């Protein structure tokens, strides 16, 4: 996401010819978009995206279980982490 935001910022600076970016080649201005595509393809091919989504779902599930136990008056179990 950071690559896309940087790419948009550079694209706007180049388009409106603001600052030193106006003198840069279009290849340098568009490079963050290529890096974003490379990052997303790597993240999807290695399972990084799926793993992060599963970790978030597991944390949300555990938080919900803890809230329910606390509302029932049960104490939290000791976790080993």
Structure tokens at 1: 């996401």
How far apart CA 67 and CA 69 sit, in angstroms, is 6
pLDDT in tens, 7-59: 999 999 999 999 999 999 999 999 999 999 999 999 999 999 999 999 999 99
Max CA pair span of the chain: 66
Is residue 62's pLDDT more than 80?
A: yes
Same domain, yes or no: 7 and 22: yes
Q: What's the pLDDT at 61?
A: 97
Same domain, 18 and 1: yes
Same domain, 7 and 41: yes
- Where in the sequence is the domain holding 40, given as residue range(s)? 1-46
Q: Give the per-residue pLDDT at 73.
A: 87
């Amino acid at each position: 996401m950071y690559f896309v935001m940087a790419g948009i910022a550079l694209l706007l600076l180049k388009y409106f010819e603001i600052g030193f970016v106006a003198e840069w080649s279009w290849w340098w201005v568009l490079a963050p978009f290529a890096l974003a595509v490379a990052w997303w393809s790597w993240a999807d091919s290695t399972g990084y995206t799926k793993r992060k989504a599963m970790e978030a779902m597991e944390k949300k599930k555990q938080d919900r279980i803890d809230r329910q136990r606390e509302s029932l008056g049960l104490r939290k179990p000791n976790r080993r982490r």
